[in-house]
Copies of this chain bind each other. A is one copy, B any other.
Amino acid sequence: MDFASLFGLVLGIVLVVGAMILQAGGDMAGLIQFVNITSIMIVLGGTMASTAIGFRINEIVRVFTLVKFVVTKPKFMLYELVKELTEAAEIYRKGPTELEKHLPNVKSFFIKDGLTFIANGIKYDDLKTILLQREKFRYSRESHESDLIKTLGTFSPAFGMIGTLIGLIFMLNNMGGGAEAMGNIGPSMGVALITTFYGSLFASLLFNPFSEKLKLRNQENSQAHQLMITGILLIWQKRHQIDVQDQLTAYIEPKDRLLHFKDEE
């Protein structure tokens, strides 16, 4: 489980709510004034509605299933991919039959698919085109998902402001003259501002950080796939496992390079 995301979300909520309780003088009941049903309707509803216009319905559904990925560990450990590819390179030099026997032991789906193509005797250029195109497709789809959440984060404060404008216009239009009016301005304006508060909070604590997270994850996946494509193509060329390892370790941190591969060189 990805501790940072969950920790960040819980910490953020605890701090903001804690600060609110502190300001209410420790009176937790005072928080009830921050619960406002029309504000939630406008901010969450409006944001979802606008995003639904710009994207497809099935994409919005998928994003919510993505949440479980966001709080899980990175999908690929780069040094394990290097080991898996180096091993396959060694085996393929013994012959395609050996490679075919080895296939069920390969854990990564993408590597297994690539090695199957090699065992079936695909041409080099075809293999390269197919692998690059699959990765390009994956990259554009995942970028699209983080764009969707980014869009939620853009519309959220906009609808916060729209809700506040509605509240202000009602308040100002219904405002009579005299001292009584002055006394009503305060609470009405407070209610109007709650929508702005919701819009900013959802954007800053939810949509924008999770969009960043997905972008980061996409970059990591991209690095992993570049490593795997380079490795698979080197295996096709029947390069020696030492050369394969030298090239693939350039994709990982110097620290990991020393830790996992120094003894074998």
Interface residues of A (CB under 8 A from B): 2-5, 7-9, 11-12, 15-16, 18-20, 22-24, 30, 33-34, 37-38, 41-42, 45-46, 48-57, 60, 117, 122, 126, 129-131, 133-134, 137, 140-141, 144, 151, 154-155, 158-159, 161-163, 165-173, 175-184, 186-187, 189-191, 193-194, 196-197, 200-201, 203-205, 208-213, 216, 219, 223, 243, 246-247, 250-253
User: How far apart sit A137 and B196, CA to CA, in the bound complex (Å)?
Assistant: 41
Q: Are B203 and A158 in contact (CB under 8 A)?
A: yes
User: 9 new A-B pairs (CB below 8 Å) besides A53-B210, A54-B208?
Assistant: A4-B56, A15-B45, A24-B170, A30-B170, A33-B169, A50-B209, A141-B253, A169-B197, A173-B190
Residue of B nearest to A7 (CB): B52
User: Which of these, B137, B158, B216, contacts A200 with CB under 8 Å?
Assistant: B158
User: How far apart sit A212 and B54, CA to CA, in the bound complex (Å)?
Assistant: 5
Q: Are A197 and B165 in contact (CB under 8 A)?
A: yes
Task: Assess A53 versus B209: contact at CB under 8 Å? Given A183-B176, A194-B169, A197-B165.
Answer: yes
- The interface residues of chain B lying within 8 Å CB-to-CB of A166 are 16, 19-20, 23, 197
